[in-house]
Structure 1
Amino acid sequence: MAAYSSEQTQTALPQGLLIDLDGTLFHGSVMIDGADRLIRLLKELELPYLFVTNNSSASPETVAERMQAMGIPAEPEDVCTSAQGAAAYIAGEKPGAKVAVIGEEGLLEAVRGAGLNVVYQNPDYVLQGIDRGLTYDKVAEAVRLIRGGAGSIMTNPDLLLPSEGGVIPGAGSIGAMIQAASGVQPVVIGKPSPILMNVALERLGIGAERALVIGDNLATDIAAGNNAGCRSLLVMTGITNKDNYEALRLQAGAEPDQICEDLNELISYISAMFRK
């Protein structure tokens, strides 16, 4: 993989990082070795970053609290969720829009926080994320509204989610049912779509060419970086490893600019870039 060479000038250094969470900094509720030291290094270097996650169910406050409990420095303002991305996208398309929400508290909070109105009569958009209280009636109503002209927005395309008892259907599985019944392909916000990345870049105040995306999943993190025009770095701490890399690379159609075996190597890599 291509790396930053010693001949490159300071202008080539990233001005901000977009960092994935589950599989990159932690597994479930367990911190991956080096995650705490990585964030402390970024703070020491005063290098801006955001934690960018496809999770639409948890608020930034909840995400930050979970990370803090693992020992990873995190504040709500460090977190950018697909729920926030979806709300920002809709607000950009139609400020104050009426939105019918299929999702959990994190999604509802993001929608209201963006100045949008949660309604279930004549909405401008149907916004769907993960909803573990999903019912047939909710799906039927969403289909009716979309077929009636409401725009269809999906927070993220993840078909499966990790859980204590194994994987469970994710937002993408719910979205697949709604799409099949409505005949309308939704606008997808989360990774690998560039929309969430663009929202995060705007928050950081940098262009895509000056950002570095860090993640463990070629099909989501690295593909999102590629699609948004960012450089990307793969850490083999989660989905991707040496054994499956080539197969996943071909399947995803995405390739990182750099690979690090673990977070310790990533820490050394970043230190070498900024401490020449």
Structure 2
Amino acid sequence: MRIGKVMSQISVRIPLVLWAIIVIYPLIWMFLGSFKSNAEIFASPWTLPETFELDNFISAWSDYNIGSSFMNSIFVTTLGTILCLVFGIPTSYAIERLRFKGSEVLFNTYLAAMMIPSVLGWIPLFFLLAHFNMLDNLWALSLVYAVSHIPFTIFIITSFMENVPKELEEAAAIDGMSPYGILFKIVTPMVKSGIITASILNAVAFWNEYFMALILLQSESKNTLGVAMDLLNQNAQYNSAWGALFAGLSIAVIPIIIIFAIFQRYIAKGMTEGAVKG
């Protein structure tokens, strides 16, 4: 029985270790390549850098506008994530707790909206924003991001609000607390895991988004990281700026890695609690 248990653990862990190596190795190779010169990348792509210099990071940040694109991505990601919560938390509470006429239809409509491919709305959305002179606007792009992910946010947060005991809300109401006070002081802190999970998943989606930014933004100074990295990739192919490309990719990846490293406990807890709801 002990041998069988050991073999069972090995059979599970070996594929996981192999998969981790497959995923992590390209990231390490990219990060080490960001410290190499172009000549060193072509001469010895699989070895450690001879000297760890920051020339590629400086070039990517200033010469290829990764710095301004980085700040633009931070802006649209932060604002889009906040707007998702501003719209999603009250809507989730209304659907889950108030149970007004048509609440089930509204919730099912949000679920159906999650199934619609976003590509179907690109052309109408472009003409709509053009009509209101909102093209090439980071605020408008943030709003588009938020609206596109509100159904997903509501789906996540309602699954957590369902598990909040109604007795707590009833006791707070008896003590004279307003519905808004119950929502923000009682319910919201108790669904913190769901809010963090939805926020991080939304933020990662906004950070990595490419097509909407490409369509709705027209000025190079307003490009997000996805668009800027595509332009840098084209320059790398024709100008041999591979070191700058690796540096730009490292700049784009590091914030996501840091976020997951900090909040992985909340993400795992949130996904687990959401999976066993009801």
Tell me whether the two structures share a fold, i.e. TM-score over 0.5: no
- With structure 2 as the length reference, what TM-score do the two structures score? 0.27
Larger strand fraction of residues:
1
- With structure 1 as the length reference, what TM-score do the two structures score? 0.27
Q: Quick one: higher RCO (CA 8 Å, sep 6+), 1 or 2?
A: 2
Larger Rg: 2
Larger helix fraction of residues:
2
